């Protein structure tokens, strides 16, 4: 059978968001439910010992302080059943009166702000990648140029950047166009097999379990059954096929389309001018809120309502800041969102996004430094490209404009459920100097819009795992300084440095010590963090 490489693609599923069915609360997969909060010693699972913390150290206690966690993402479904009572309210603002009551520059910002829209309530959700924007911006100047003769050094650098972007764009469009053709041929073959089996054996095959009903001595039918078994064993499903087709379509029509420019139509600002801030609206959910809702649930899904999943921290309010599209975010939006969170009382900022290029990174660097100087803990996902961030950057970078590490910024890699060689998630970025610590980010059950739930993968969920533990500790020990909190998170983690693991993106022969993948070589652990917080607080 042909197209076997597609099976791997369908099974692996782009990692930032796993191709698992959207579920209701009563149909969550118990095999993965809440594993990130379990304990290695008690449950034999590489979780963060959150349940152990609640059941022992803080069993009869209540949070001393509510911690505000800003979620800069693609939007949050603030009406989700498992986020009830967990959404930040700007009490200085009067809802829907069309006025900036608190004088912070944003009208009716009750739960946060949407930086991907306009004052008329129009929003957008899809965007091109950053290198496509670079190509588009430089095309009028360098599109017809075939030589660098007569160019100054700055122009030569721009020309080189243009050609690099052009080459990458053409390569990506060609690959996705071919993938579209391949998947169409694969789908036709798959449907022909299903139809043939239904006609010859009267069995409708939708899952592996259906194959057990097929009984035949015909060799052709037996070969078809084996082929379908192989598909299902590799994670194939009709839903995954449709989602993969949708992804190819979105890549070609939106992410990799230089003519697609929703920002110009909806907002119309100069994206390189951070002084232009008069845009956006108060719709923090927006047209797409899947990713941000999943992140928010990871941090603080209601632990006492007897439904859905269990977030890490109870005493938390989520400030929703919509600034991340399906595509690459604008540096300006991220910078303004960080400043909004800082100026409006956020204690922690979760940033589950990233990109490979950042033309206006100075905006973000200055905003991150501003937040750090104000005592805000910054938590950023390392990214899902299986690359070494010490060699290849993922933006926003944890370094400021002077090249020094931003003091209160953490970069988080993703770990898996089982202890052993596959403990570092295969998709996770890593880096001895750049990544600080790892946290659960593979096969995580969390909230999904419209009161649904989903099983997901990605450092996007490892970051809120750390944000959740940070908020949990801080809510019980508000006397701790943010510097102490950061130290506790890093030093108290489960010491996994000596564990030999497969380097993310490598094969079974690429074995390294876990300590080589991050600065600490640790996995974040709530129980150990509480013990250290108590000792530090007692000394204080």
Mean pLDDT of the chain: 93
Active site residue 210: no
pLDDT of residue 19: 43
pLDDT of residue 17: 38
pLDDT of residue 540: 59
Residue 102 lies in a domain: no
H helix and E strand count, the chain: 15, 13
For residue 479, what are the CA distances in angstroms to 159, 345, 384?
53, 17, 35
Q: Is the pLDDT of residue 139 over 90?
A: yes
Min mean pLDDT across 15-19, 80-84, 179-183, 197-201 is at 15-19
Active site residue 460: yes
CATH of the domain at 330: 3.40.50.200
One of 352, 460, 475, 492 is an active-site residue; which one? 460
Where is the domain boundary, 255, 270, 297?
A: 255
Q: What are phi and psi of 180, to 5 degrees?
A: -60, -40
Segment 362-417, tens digit of pLDDT: 999 999 999 999 999 999 999 999 999 999 999 999 999 899 999 999 999 999 99
Quick one: tokens of 104?
């912070």
Chain position carrying tokens 């490209």: 385
Same-domain status, 341 and 203: no
Same-domain status, 439 and 481: yes
Residue 243 lies in a domain: yes
Chain position carrying tokens 């009382």: 345
Same-domain status, 81 and 148: no
Residue 40 lies in a domain: no
Mean pLDDT for the stretch of residues 70-88: 98
Measured in whole angstroms, the distance separating CA 191 from the mean position of its chain's CA atoms is: 34
Segment 268-284, tens digit of pLDDT: 999 999 999 999 999 99
Apex CA 264: angle with CA 259 and CA 268, to 5°? 165
Segment 304-332, tens digit of pLDDT: 999 999 999 999 999 999 999 999 999 99
Q: Is the pLDDT of residue 13 over 90?
A: no
Segment 292-304, tens digit of pLDDT: 999 999 999 999 9
| Domain boundaries, position 185 | 131-255
Segment 19-39, tens digit of pLDDT: 456 777 777 777 788 999 999
Residue 38 lies in a domain: no
Structural contact between residues 452 and 444, judged by C-beta atoms closer than 8 angstroms: no
pTM over the 0.85 mark: yes
DSSP state for residue 514 in the 8-state scheme? G
Segment 418-442, tens digit of pLDDT: 999 999 999 999 999 999 999 999 9
Same-domain status, 73 and 219: no
Residue 52 lies in a domain: no
Same-domain status, 70 and 154: no
Same-domain status, 315 and 385: yes
Q: Is the pLDDT of residue 525 over 80?
A: yes
One of 82, 237, 289, 291 is an active-site residue; which one? 291
One of 13, 20, 39, 73 is an active-site residue; which one? 73
Same-domain status, 521 and 375: yes
Active site residue 347: no
Same-domain status, 532 and 470: yes
Mean pLDDT for the stretch of residues 111-137: 98
CA distance linking residue 386 with residue 506, whole number of Å: 8
More confident residue, 321 or 242: 321
Indicate the number of domains in the chain. 2
Mean pLDDT for the stretch of residues 455-469: 97
């Amino acid at each position: 059978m042909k197209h076997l490489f597609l099976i791997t693609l369908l099974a692996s599923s782009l990692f930032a968001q796993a191709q698992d069915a959207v579920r209701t609360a009563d149909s969550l997969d118990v095999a993965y439910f809440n594993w990130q909060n379990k304990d290695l010693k008690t449950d034999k699972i590489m979780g963060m010992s959150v349940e152990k913390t609640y059941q022992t150290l803080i069993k009869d206690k209540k949070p001393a302080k509510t911690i505000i966690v800003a979620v800069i993402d693609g939007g949050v479904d603030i009406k989700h059943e498992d986020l009830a009572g967990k959404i930040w309210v700007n009490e200085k603002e009067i809802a829907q009166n069309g006025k900036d009551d608190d004088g912070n520059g944003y009208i009716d910002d009750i739960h946060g702000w949407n930086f991907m829209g306009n004052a008329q309530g129009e929003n957008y959700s899809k965007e091109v990648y950053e290198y496509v924007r670079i190509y588009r911006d430089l095309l009028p100047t360098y599109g017809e140029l075939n030589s660098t003769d007569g160019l100054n050094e700055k122009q030569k650098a721009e020309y080189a950047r243009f050609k690099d972007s052009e080459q990458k764009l053409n390569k990506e469009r060609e690959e996705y166009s071919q993938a579209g053709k391949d998947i169409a041929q694969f789908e036709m073959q798959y449907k022909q097999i299903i139809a043939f089996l239904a006609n010859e054996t009267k069995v409708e095959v939708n899952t592996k379990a259906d194959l057990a009903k097929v009984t035949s001595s015909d060799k052709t039918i037996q070969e078809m059954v084996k082929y379908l078994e192989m598909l299902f064993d590799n994670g194939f499903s009709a839903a995954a096929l449709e989602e993969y087709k949708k992804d190819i379509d979105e890549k070609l029509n939106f992410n990799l389309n230089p003519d697609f420019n929703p920002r110009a139509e909806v907002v119309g600002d100069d994206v390189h001018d951070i002084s232009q801030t008069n845009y956006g609206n108060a719709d923090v959910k927006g047209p797409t809120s899947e990713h941000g809702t999943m992140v928010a649930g990871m941090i603080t899904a209601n632990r006492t309502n007897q439904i859905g999943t269990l977030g890490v921290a109870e005493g938390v309010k989520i400030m929703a800041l919509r600034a991340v599209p399906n595509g690459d975010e604008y540096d300006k939006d991220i910078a303004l969102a960080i400043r909004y969170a800082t100026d409006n009382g956020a204690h922690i900022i979760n940033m589950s996004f990233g990109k490979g290029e950042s033309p206006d990174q100075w905006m973000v660097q200055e905003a991150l430094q501003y937040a750090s100087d104000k005592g805000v803990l910054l938590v950023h996902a390392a990214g899902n490209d299986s690359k070494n961030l010490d060699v290849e950057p993922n933006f926003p970078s944890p370094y400021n404009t002077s090249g020094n590490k931003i003091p209160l910024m953490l970069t988080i890699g993703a770990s898996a459920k089982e202890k052993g060689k596959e403990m570092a998630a295969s998709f996770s970025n890593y880096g001895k100097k750049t990544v600080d610590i790892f946290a659960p980010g593979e096969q995580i059950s969390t909230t999904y819009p419209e009161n649904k739930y989903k099983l997901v993968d990605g450092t996007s969920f490892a970051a809120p795992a750390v944000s959740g533990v940070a908020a949990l500790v801080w809510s019980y020990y508000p006397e701790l300084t943010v510097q102490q909190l950061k130290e506790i998170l890093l030093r108290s983690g489960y010491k996994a440095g000596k564990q030999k693991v497969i380097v993310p993106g490598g094969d079974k022969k690429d074995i390294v010590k876990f300590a080589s993948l991050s600065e600490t070589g640790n996995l974040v652990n709530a129980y150990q963090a509480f013990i250290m917080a108590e000792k530090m607080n007692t000394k204080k």
